[in-house]
């Protein structure tokens, strides 16, 4: 309703402002598209491989700790049973 009663010069100024904003936004869209393409290439070439190798190392370390704990528990059990079987009353 406001623009209906505005002067012609004000309407033209508003149109020019909107057109300049549109041009800026179109340039930003182009920049964002470039950024998306760059990130896609980066993830495919670098980041995913680093992530996989890091997770593999973490998994192997966790598995190694688990195995050490299991060996320790088995040794404790063997010591307990040896003590129980060794007692003669």
Is there a domain that residue 41 lies in?
Answer: yes
Task: Output the pLDDT for position 77.
Answer: 96
Does residue 20 fall inside a structural domain?
yes
Q: How does 24-56 read in b/e, with b if 16+ C-beta sit within 10 Å?
A: eeeeeeeeeeeeeeeeeeeeeeeeeeeeeeeee
| pLDDT at residue 49, rounded to an integer | 93
**Total-model pTM:** 0.55
Whether the CB-CB separation of 38 and 47 falls below 8 Å is answered with no
Q: Is residue 71 part of a domain?
A: yes
Query: What pLDDT sits at residue 7?
Result: 80
49 is a domain residue: yes
pLDDT at position 11 is 82
Q: For residue 67, what is the DSSP state?
A: H
Angle at 27 between CA 35 and CA 2, to 5 degrees: 130
1 within a domain of the structure (yes/no)? no
43 occurs within a structural domain: yes
Which domain covers residue 45, as residue numbers? 7-86
Residue 55 lies in a domain: yes
DSSP state of 44: I
Could you tell me the pLDDT band of residue 26, with boundaries at 50, 70 and 90? very high
What's the domain count of the chain? 1
């Amino acid at each position: 309703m406001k623009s209906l009663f505005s002067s012609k010069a004000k309407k033209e100024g508003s149109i020019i402002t909107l057109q300049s904003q549109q041009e800026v936004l179109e340039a930003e869209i182009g920049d964002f598209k470039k950024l998306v393409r760059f990130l896609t290439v980066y993830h495919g070439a670098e980041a995913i491989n680093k992530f996989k190798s890091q997770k593999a190392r973490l998994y192997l370390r966790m598995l190694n700790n688990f195995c050490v704990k299991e060996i320790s528990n088995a040794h404790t059990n063997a010591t307990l049973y040896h003590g129980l079987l060794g007692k003669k009353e």
